Amino acid sequence: MHQQFPADFLFGVATSSFQIEGAVHEHGRGESIWDRFCRQPGAIADASNGDIACDHVHRLESDLDLIASLGVNCYRFSIAWPRVQALGQGAFSSEGMDFYKRLVDGLLQRGIKPVATLYHWDLPQALQDQGGWANRETVHRFVDYARHVQKQLGDRLHMISTHNEPWCAATLGHDIGIHAPGIKNRAIAAQVSHHLMLSHGLALQAMRADGATANLGIVLNMGPSVPASPMPEDIAAARRADALSRRWYSDPLLRGLYPQEIIEELGADAPKIEAGDMAAIQTPMDHMGINYYTRHVVRASGELWSARAHGLPVSEMEWEIYPEGLTDILCLMKADYPHLPPVFITENGGAFPDAAIADGHVQDLDRKRYLQEHIAALAVARERGVRIDGYMVWSLMDNFEWGYGYAKRFGIVHVDYDTQQRTPKASALWYRDFLSQWRGLKPLSGQA
């Protein structure tokens, strides 16, 4: 399988700011919508928050060494907007930016390409107090923030993705209400999704006008939506699910329009779109990040289809383990969009109930198999002619898994939250050896 990936392929690990950083009161960091949401009773399964998380801010140097020990050539992280601009408008914090400069410089010194996401869901609460993403003004605040980051760091960033998974931010945050800011309103969610997309397009234009040299794009989550049966109503339901979750984002980006059937379904709840918005959203991108975890089996009844009940393998999230879905979704994207930019798998991984550390080892063989099978599925998509230039494991280390708190562990490195001790799991050692073989080197001996 190694020979399927060219020498300049990016292999990395991924994290996001709120899930690992902690230090929520340092650098003059302002409150984010996730700080606020965590304090809402019942919002987080284990009633936890991001105050300490993986204490990454205080452990930057040793975490950089940890990343380097894996032999990856890129690292995907996100910048916490409220750490570099407490209120989301007005003064920027040079202290906050200094933290990311140290991170980026530390990566470059170790020969690792920095891949930054501007928005992985931690909106400054002060902007939420003015309506958040439902308020069109937030689009312009985001563009200012993007320009600032690009000017400060852009020359040293390999890639800049504007948004991570706008579907999650819009739908989970504003329709279903299980993510910050916890709103349950379909019309607001639709407007939020449009503003996220618009802010992406305008930020790309502004960063380019400022002379950006980094590779610019966005990250979408997706998986194939397949009907639970050959019945016409299940087929129609799968098509609708695909339009709602995938095409609602990829069509405007790559075709300049929202799926008409969803606009009709939304009726009065459809987003307000101003002249020029769709052209801005369609601004050409240098990359399309895709986060893949599972496929979605859809029934017209709306009842949830359970892979476990069908005897199929699932992760601890109850998500079906379906590596072929990665090949399928990549081939579908290529078939759907003649102008698909080079793709990077910006997240892929699994939560599993890891056995305890024994003699310094965590034998997460299920996660190791998950990664092996998905990298193999990626190789198949490449053979089928999809241009894929990188793959990043979610996640470098166990971290704050949003509404699930710390209970779900996605890391290839184990984190003991009492001591903050990091222990590479079997999956990390496998990934390290895989990468070492890929580079044509002998596996490194000893510790990870």
> Of 286, 138, 148, 118, whose CA–CA distance to 198 is shortest?
138
Residue 294: CB minimum distance to ligand FCB, A? 11
Identify which of residues 194 and 409 has a Cβ nearer to ligand FCB in the complex.
409
Identify which of residues 278 and 329 has a Cβ nearer to ligand FCB in the complex.
329
Tokens 């700011």 belong to which residue? 17
**Given 347, 373, 383, 401, the catalytic residue:** 347
Residue 53: CB minimum distance to ligand FCB, A? 12
Residue 394: CB minimum distance to ligand FCB, A? 5
Identify which of residues 266 and 317 has a Cβ nearer to ligand FCB in the complex.
317
Is 347 among the catalytic positions? yes
Interface with ligand FCB (CB under 6 A):
16, 19, 164-165, 168, 221, 291, 347, 394, 401-402, 410
Is 95 among the catalytic positions? no
126/436 Cα distance (integer angstroms): 46
Identify which of residues 49 and 282 has a Cβ nearer to ligand FCB in the complex.
49
Residue 219: CB minimum distance to ligand FCB, A? 8
Residue 250: CB minimum distance to ligand FCB, A? 16
Identify which of residues 191 and 291 has a Cβ nearer to ligand FCB in the complex.
291
Identify which of residues 215 and 221 has a Cβ nearer to ligand FCB in the complex.
221
Q: In angstroms, what CA-CA distances link 328 with 168, 224, 272, 368?
A: 22, 7, 33, 21
Residue 24: CB minimum distance to ligand FCB, A? 17
Residue 14: CB minimum distance to ligand FCB, A? 8
Identify which of residues 277 and 347 has a Cβ nearer to ligand FCB in the complex.
347
**Given 165, 261, 324, 373, the catalytic residue:** 165
Catalytic residue numbers read: 165, 347
